[in-house]
Amino acid sequence: MRVAVVGGGVVGITTALQLKGELRNSDVTIYAEKYENIVSYVAAGLFRVGKSFSGPSEEITRNWVNDSYEFYDGIRKSREAANAGVVEISGYIFSNEGPNAVKNPWMESLVSNYRSVTEEELKLPGNNWKYGAYFTTLITQCKWYIPWARRQLEQTGTKFYKRKLYNVNELIDDYDVIINCAGLGATELSGDRRMVPMRGQVLKVKAPWLKTFFYGELDTYIIPGIDGSCTLGGSRNYDSTRMSPCAHETRAIHERCTSLVPSLKNAEVIESLVGLRPHRDGGVRVEIEKISNGRRSATLVHNYGHGGYGVCTAPGTAKYAIKLAQDAHLNTYSKL
């Protein structure tokens, strides 16, 4: 099976990696307009899937989340964990709005440790919170994971091309299956008007002493990296494409995060970063269609629209997309 994967971010790279694992004899090529300075590198990579994340059904969505965690946890338990940037981490979510704010149906049934905090822990960061939860999860830092995954793919003969595509029909003549992991690029590539950029800004600081993550009301988060850096966030600006950091947001993020964890006031600021999350109204799109250019037909599988949960759920949606592609390919040849 000759497969083209469109997109060089965490979803595209992970889809190609899963594909080579499932179908070792497949001939895989990745196409991307760029491989550096992508939104995947801005993400902190904490495995925490929000309650709003959705696929076509609750059962499928839960499978996506569970399969993704199993994939990353498998890497964490392997000898490749350090090279791939996958580690275990624990931390807190706090809120004053209500007990539901710290509950999470996806995570509570998945991780081995998800509990309510104690009265002492509610006062831990120096604030008087009313509600809180503590859990253990994973971090996948794309700064390490994507280069590691790319090396794995190169060893299997996967080819990488830097090229901007304007229509998936450009690939029909050379491939049996095209998997569209273009993220925001699907707005143009697939004409999907449901795709909306969700601008996010974070602050990177040096805080090697911090080994625990913190959320305050979900709009303030502090996530330690594996290299002594720490991601402070965040912001969600719907339908904004501004890529330059906003000084006002930087100050606001710093004030909120240092209030949550006062020791960060002494942390050296590294940089401010901006990324455009590929949000899709109506949920993530993972579905299949047949396309033709008049000479030849191919199977097109869409796998995009993950919003702020691309790192978390890429392995799960990739597995689902690959199964759709494999079934369609086998069905096509069974009719010949």
Q: What percent of the chain has pLDDT over 70?
A: 97
CA distance to 122, 139, 213, 217, 292, per residue, from 43 (Å): 27, 10, 14, 19, 36
pLDDT tens digit sequence for 102-119: 999 999 999 989 999 999
Element (H, E) at 206: strand 195-206
pLDDT at 336: 44
CA distance to 203, 215, 321, per residue, from 221 (Å): 11, 4, 31
pLDDT at 124: 77
Rounded Cα–Cα distance for residues 311 and 318 (Å): 11
The answer, yes or no, to whether residue 335 has pLDDT greater than 90, is: no
pTM score, whole prediction: 0.94
Pairing relationship of beta strands 195-206 and 237-238 according to DSSP bridges: antiparallel
Mean pLDDT, range 52-65, rounded to an integer: 94
pLDDT tens digit sequence for 176-207: 999 999 999 999 999 999 999 999 999 999 99
pLDDT at 333: 52
Comparison of pLDDT for 127 and 89, the residue scoring more: 89
Lowest mean pLDDT among 49-53, 77-81, 172-176: 49-53
pLDDT tens digit sequence for 125-155: 667 899 999 999 999 999 999 999 999 999 9
Phi/psi of residue 159, nearest 5 degrees: -105, 145
Tokens standing for residue 265: 């006031």
Please give the full DSSP string across 87-118, using - where no structure is assigned: EEEEEEEEESS-GGGG--HHHHTTSS-EEEPP
pLDDT tens digit sequence for 253-305: 999 999 999 999 999 999 999 999 999 999 999 999 999 998 999 999 999 99
The answer, yes or no, to whether residue 334 has pLDDT greater than 70, is: no
**pLDDT band at residue 327 using 50, 70 and 90 as cut-offs:** confident
Comparison of pLDDT for 95 and 24, the residue scoring more: 95
Q: What percent of the chain has pLDDT over 90?
A: 87
pLDDT at 126: 63
Mean pLDDT of the chain: 93
